[in-house]
Structure 1
Amino acid sequence: MSVPLPPAFAYHSVDAGGVRIHCAVGGDGPPLLLLHGYPQTHLIWHHVAPLLAATHTVVLADLRGYGDSDKPAPGDGDAEYAKRAMAHDQLLVMNDLGFERFGVAGHDRGGRVGHRLALDAPEAVSALAVLDIVPTRHTFEQAGMEFGLGYYHWFFLAAGHGIPEHLIGADPEFWITARMTARHRGGTPFEPAAVREYVRCFSDPAAIAASCSDYRAAAGIDLEHDRADAGRRVTAPLLALWGEHSFVGRSYDVLAVWRDYASDVRGRALPADHYLPEEQPELVAAELREFFTG
């Protein structure tokens, strides 16, 4: 691994009910779980985690299907990549590390996993931060032409018959770098060593299949779970951060949306596009530190 996490961060492989989850742990203080999004790994937090480690025990985990975590073969219905299953993995990881109650911060897909974790295990989640998302149910139920154009990858990745797997597999590096550069505006440039790690991990056909299953689950079983839970609210304090230049920032009243899904909501826009932890790491770290220690 060429992306420098400080030596104090130790790597672990945790058996989460038969799925091995790859994670790094460092720092001291209250536990804080950091979850990444698509098409990345725990290394999206490589600037932020050392800043938080001064006040928290930080756990950076690869979601199932991503990074160096296990990649179960998708089955009918994509239940293997339901956010409920992915959230349960992370609950087991934190319990295995000795943490029964902890904070969670998730970017992109990781924010959706964190949202599900806060609903399914409210006794475990002390506070939740979501970065550059609004809830999946709201997103699909409000989708129009602008969403279809701005977030076309949601529908492309959810397509069947092996189409996205075949096309992405032909040139995964192009797909990853094109997706990332199209959604970056100002701030800190992407770290080349981190990008190489994203490409290395995503070049595995099993990772491509898993990530497509992740998006199919969002349009299927996740939506079923979310609709069944309509009316339930996240009871933990919730911090929403978003990029002022991102599709989310341009398209939604983010705090108003989250107030339909959570009881105690705060947050603000940051001067970035989608990849907040890499574009504005110091601002993200400051916001998270204040929120999780407040």
Structure 2
Amino acid sequence: MITAIRPLSRRFLRSARTLATVTLTLLLTIGTAACSTPEAGDVPPYAVATQDDPEFENTFRHEFADVDGVRMHYVTGGSGTPVVLIHGWPQTWYGWWPIMPALAEHHTVYAVDLPGLGDSIGSPTGFDKATLARYVHTLIADRLKVRDAAVVGHDFGAAVAFQYASRFPDDTARLGYFDLPLPGPTVDAATYRSLSWHIAFHSQRRVPEAVVGDDVREYLALFYPQVSFGGTAFGGTSDRSPFTDTEINEYARTYSRPETLSGGFELYRALDKDVRDTAAAAPVHVPTLLMTAQGQLDAIRATVTPRMTKIVRAVDVPHAGHWLVEENPRFVTAELLRFLGG
């Protein structure tokens, strides 16, 4: 017997259409996810800032090495004679990225994160520049077996580079010293702290962390223009920053970690020991490049000449404040390549 088929109800049809729509949406979502390119979350945090720079990504790689309780992070690439790049405050290895591709055409580049800063995770035994130089030397000379490097530093990284060259002369081919009055007999710690409000402020115990910790990015964004060309640190009124939002975000990413923020301020709190270490340091006899902000050459040269006996080139960077690489990268690159090739 054949039973007559009853017409489908409107309610059933609506339910069927809804189910079909949901199923199709799920299939499209799954398919899109399977075919999509990786988002920033799929990239390690330390690589996000350069992921859209194909020239950089094709040349450099991020590496880590354990050094005396610190997992040190460095970025390396290129071929040729080795060059070690050491950052200052408030920066990381990333402070060198604008000039690294040009350097890598002729040299093997190692841009390091200082212990306890950037993505070098762990607590060094001290933030005095002699101790930090020992960590960098252990990484470069002992772990990586590079014993003929040109060592280049900016800001407090310049003091680290000086200590590296002084303590390990046999492993140092050349010294690049960028824009830092050298703490030492010429400028003692008390005088150093009087040079700028931020040096005195950052030298205090716990206070800068309490003031800055709630919004590190805002503090950095306000600080960078002050020591830029024409900024208040140089007697000007400019509030123009040479840093992009991407650059500020990258620095804020690491300095927003409480231990890294404190580590950065410890660079300033170590000034008394830095002065003593400079006084005790052996003079540096390797060829040296001295580079400063515009108008600062004579003042900075007076602090370093007693300790650096072979300054083969001393120059201030036109239209640059403290941020030499960001404010005039072409000039800095040309000078550095000429020095390294000499």
SS in 1 for 2:173: strand
Is contact 2:65-2:72 (8 Å) kept?
yes
Higher relative contact order (CA closer than 8 Å, sequence separation 6+): 1
What amino acid maps onto 1:224 in structure 2? R
What do residues 242-287 of structure 1 show as CA deviations (whole Å, max 9, x unaligned)?
1115xx44xx433344221111012101110000011111111111
Residues of 1 paired with 2:217 and 2:247: CA distance? 13
Count of residues in correspondence between the two structures:
279
State which of 319, 322, 326 in structure 2 corresponds to 1:278: 326
2:117 corresponds in structure 1 to 66
2:253 corresponds in structure 1 to 200
1:76 corresponds in structure 2 to none
After TM superposition, give the deviation of residue 192 of structure 1 in Å.
2.4
What amino acid maps onto 1:125 in structure 2? T
1:84 corresponds in structure 2 to 130
Residues of 1 paired with 2:321 and 2:185: CA distance? 21
- Which runs of no fewer than 5 residues in structure 2 stay unpaired? 1-47, 231-239
Is contact 2:292-2:322 (8 Å) kept?
yes
TM-score, with structure 1 as normaliser: 0.88
2:95 is the counterpart of 1:44: yes
2:172 corresponds in structure 1 to 125
What amino acid maps onto 1:97 in structure 2? L
What do residues 41-68 of structure 1 show as CA deviations (whole Å, max 9, x unaligned)?
1111111111100000001111112111
2:339 corresponds in structure 1 to 291
After TM superposition, give the deviation of residue 210 of structure 1 in Å.
0.9
After TM superposition, give the deviation of residue 104 of structure 1 in Å.
0.7
Residues of 2 paired with 1:170 and 1:138: CA distance? 37
After TM superposition, give the deviation of residue 139 of structure 1 in Å.
5.9
- Which runs of no fewer than 5 residues in structure 1 stay unpaired? 74-78
After TM superposition, give the deviation of residue 20 of structure 1 in Å.
1.3
State which of 156, 165, 168 in structure 1 corresponds to 2:201: 156
Is contact 2:86-2:158 (8 Å) kept?
yes
What do residues 145-189 of structure 1 show as CA deviations (whole Å, max 9, x unaligned)?
xx65652222211112x1111111122112211111112228993
| Greater Cα shift, 135-144 or 191-200 | 135-144
- Show the 5 A alignment for 1:106-125: 106-125=153-172
2:218 corresponds in structure 1 to 174
After TM superposition, give the deviation of residue 40 of structure 1 in Å.
0.7
Is contact 2:185-2:278 (8 Å) kept?
no
1:30 corresponds in structure 2 to 81
Residues of 1 paired with 2:182 and 2:194: CA distance? 19
Cα distance, 1:8–1:134 mapped onto 2, change above 3 Å: same
2:287 is the counterpart of 1:237: yes
After TM superposition, give the deviation of residue 238 of structure 1 in Å.
1.1
Is contact 2:59-2:101 (8 Å) kept?
no
2:269 is the counterpart of 1:224: no
2:304 corresponds in structure 1 to 258
Root-mean-square deviation over aligned CA pairs: 2.1
Is contact 2:62-2:73 (8 Å) kept?
yes
Residues of 2 paired with 1:116 and 1:169: CA distance? 31
2:22 corresponds in structure 1 to none
SS in 1 for 2:118: coil
Percent identical pairs in the alignment equals: 29
What do residues 177-214 of structure 1 show as CA deviations (whole Å, max 9, x unaligned)?
11111122289932321211001111000011111222
What amino acid maps onto 1:68 in structure 2? D
After TM superposition, give the deviation of residue 38 of structure 1 in Å.
0.3
